């Protein structure tokens, strides 16, 4: 048997998927851990998620990362869900084993790990402001609450969406002894926050989410889930107000590391892969 035949097959599925960094990241993780993993990319038509996944599994596929726009399809496809996937209402990681198809969501874990380990900011006892109440925001609320912050305020242009998230996670907030509230931009409390997370897609259109400038202070970490070769408009705005800006590249790497752990039971070290990816993004070809 040659080396390629001995490897377990994994892939990222999405539309589009050609830009995905996941094959690079998981290739590095496989090399680092010595796990026999072969990882590719799978482009599926918008209306053909299930047949493409089924064919991949029938051909021996062991697991998938799921990206836009299929995270809800993956949630429906899974036979069983992790608590964090159930809370997120979306799945970004599928594992195939003797028990069937297991759906997990590692996005929120990736965010928390990047903030706490890579950026060195503890969420325990912190005042956190979450901008946005869509799928990206929903996926990170429970993992953040599990770190026992002092306060978590969810702000969204449509206040009702933020209030719905507050209602959904009320029990988890109580369990964590965290004060959870939400509404529109007027719901932001006075004073600077320890962490502000931009979970809106605003940076894709170079637009800023609604947020009081006074929420940013010299001790604030302003974290944008988006990333690019250049700092996002949100990060630039935060820096002008004296805050520290960070993008979501570390979240991408750390959610991938958690997916790898879900599949293989081995946790790779994200830091060197993040450093390599950061250097690649900064290269002239990405400018």
**What are the tens digits of pLDDT across the range 89-134?**
999 999 999 999 999 999 999 999 999 999 999 999 999 999 999 9
Residues of the domain holding 83: 8-105
88 and 158 share one domain: no
The answer to the question of whether 89 is labelled as a binding residue is: no
Is residue 71 among the annotated active site residues? yes
The answer to the question of whether 40 is labelled as a binding residue is: no
Percent pLDDT > 70 in the chain is 97
Q: What is the pLDDT of residue 285?
A: 65
The answer to the question of whether 1 is labelled as a binding residue is: no
Least confident of 19-33, 97-111, 270-284: 270-284
242 and 123 share one domain: yes
- From the list 114, 64, 66, 68, the residue with the least C-alpha distance to 274 is 114
Residue 210: left (phi > 0), alpha (psi -120 to 50), or beta? beta
Comparison of pLDDT for 207 and 35, the residue scoring more? 35
Alpha-carbon distances, residue 72 vs 66, 76, 135, 264, 266 (angstroms): 9, 6, 9, 24, 27
Q: Which member of 7, 71, 124, 240 is catalytic? A: 71
Token pair in block for residue 3? 């080396």
The answer to the question of residue 267 being in a domain is: no
**283 pLDDT above the threshold of 60:** yes
| Domain C-terminal end among 105, 127, 155 | 105
26 and 115 share one domain: no
- From the list 246, 238, 225, the residue with the least C-alpha distance to 136 is 225
| Domain C-terminal end among 105, 133, 168 | 105
Q: pTM for this one? A: 0.94
**What are the tens digits of pLDDT across the range 158-213?**
999 999 999 999 999 999 999 999 999 888 888 999 999 999 988 888 899 999 99
- CA–CA separation, 39 and 7 (whole Å): 9
112 and 174 share one domain: yes
- CA–CA separation, 85 and 76 (whole Å): 11
Token pair in block for residue 214? 């006074």
- CA–CA separation, 42 and 56 (whole Å): 9
Average pLDDT, the chain: 95
The answer to the question of residue 21 being in a domain is: yes
- CA–CA separation, 158 and 164 (whole Å): 10
**44 pLDDT above the threshold of 70:** yes
The answer to the question of residue 263 being in a domain is: no
**1 pLDDT above the threshold of 50:** no
128 and 59 share one domain: no
The answer to the question of whether 168 is labelled as a binding residue is: no
Q: Once rounded to an integer, what is the mean pLDDT over residues 262-279?
A: 97
CB 100 within 8 A of CB 80: yes
112 and 37 share one domain: no
Total number of domains in the chain:
2
- CA–CA separation, 114 and 70 (whole Å): 24
Residue 150 belongs to domain with CATH number: 3.40.50.720
| Domain C-terminal end among 88, 105, 122 | 105
**What are the tens digits of pLDDT across the range 57-86?**
999 999 999 999 999 999 999 999 999 999
Token pair in block for residue 173? 């907030």
The answer to the question of residue 61 being in a domain is: yes
């Amino acid at each position: 048997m040659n080396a390629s035949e001995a490897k377990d097959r994994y892939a990222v599925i999405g539309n589009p998927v050609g830009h995905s960094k996941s094959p690079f990241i998981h290739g590095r993780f496989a090399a680092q851990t010595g796990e026999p993993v072969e990882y590719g990319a799978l482009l599926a038509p918008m209306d053909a998620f299930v047949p493409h996944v089924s064919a991949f599994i029938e051909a021996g596929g062991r697991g998938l990362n799921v990206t836009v726009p299929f995270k809800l399809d993956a949630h429906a496809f899974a036979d069983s869900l992790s608590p964090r996937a159930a809370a997120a209402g979306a799945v970004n990681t599928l594992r195939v084993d003797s028990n069937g198809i297991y759906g997990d969501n590692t996005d929120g874990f990736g965010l928390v790990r990047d903030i706490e380990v890579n950026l060195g900011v503890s969420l325990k006892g912190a005042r956190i402001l979450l901008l946005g109440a869509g799928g990206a925001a929903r996926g990170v609320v429970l993992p953040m609450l599990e770190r026992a912050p002092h306060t978590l305020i969810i702000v969204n242009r449509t206040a009702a969406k933020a209030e719905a998230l507050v209602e959904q996670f009320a029990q988890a907030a109580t369990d964590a002894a965290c004060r959870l509230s939400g509404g529109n931009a007027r719901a932001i409390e006075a004073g600077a926050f320890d962490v502000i997370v931009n979970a809106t897609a605003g940076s894709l259109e170079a637009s800023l989410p609604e947020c009081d400038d006074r929420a940013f202070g010299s001790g604030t970490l302003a974290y944008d889930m988006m990333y690019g070769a250049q700092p996002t408009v949100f990060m630039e705005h935060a820096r002008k107000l004296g805050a520290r800006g960070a993008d979501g590249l570390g979240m991408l790497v750390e959610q991938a590391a958690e997916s790898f752990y879900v599949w293989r039971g081995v946790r790779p070290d994200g830091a060197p892969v993040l450093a390599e990816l950061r250097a690649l993004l900064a290269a002239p070809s990405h400018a």
